Structure 1
Amino acid sequence: MKPVKYIIENKHDLLWGLSINTVGYETINKGEKYPTANHQTGYYFSPRKGRILQEYQLVYISEGEGTFKTQSIEATTIKAGTMFLLFPGEWHTYYPDINIGWKQYWIGFKGTNIDNRVQV
């Protein structure tokens, strides 16, 4: 089983300045297709083509290893214990090594609170 939870925000959530949109985890076994088909429209992506989200996502790889790349970071190997933050509007891709697999956890969020904290 590969639990994925998408949360529907409302106007009251946004008043807090931070709303959670998705929380989940997946175990991708050696040789298994990634990503799995459990994702809602707008979240599913092709690792070859990547995607652009309209929220932040904090992703933690607890087991295994794979590859991570964004429009501003060249392809890099990520291993168990790696955590990375995806930014809204930035192209990215990541995927497990087909010969190893991985276990990943994530939380997606957005709001003025986090926008103000990451402003350059």
Structure 2
Amino acid sequence: MEKIREVIEKFIKGGDTSDTLLLEQVLHPNYQNIQDGFFEQPGIFVIPKEEYIRLVGDKVFGGKPRTIIYHALEQKNNIAYAQVSLESSALKFSSLITCVQENGKWLIISNVPVIAQK
């Protein structure tokens, strides 16, 4: 479980520090960020890896340090799920993060955040 926590925390740190190179290392090629709403725009948004990394690099997403609290972390063979709460100075997140293990390496394949203003 330690390797799973490490990849999740690198993912969070990559967003917090706008480190697109770190995100490139920890996101699966088929990564998707699935969220309900995009700022003021309603609806379900499915954001693929390349677009997510661009949004972080352009500082549309991230850029503020967040605390992390694990509510659940479960592994079933090569898939793991984490339910976490994240909080920055401006936003609160409740996220379901899915990880997969391929070739002995854990990667983030999806993030489903629920985002609220503080």
The question of a shared fold, defined as TM-score above 0.5 by the shorter chain, is answered with: no
Q: Select the structure that is richer in strand.
A: 2
Higher relative contact order (CA 8 A, sep 6+): 1
Q: Select the structure that is richer in helix.
A: 2
The TM-score with structure 2 as length reference comes to 0.31
The TM-score with structure 1 as length reference comes to 0.31
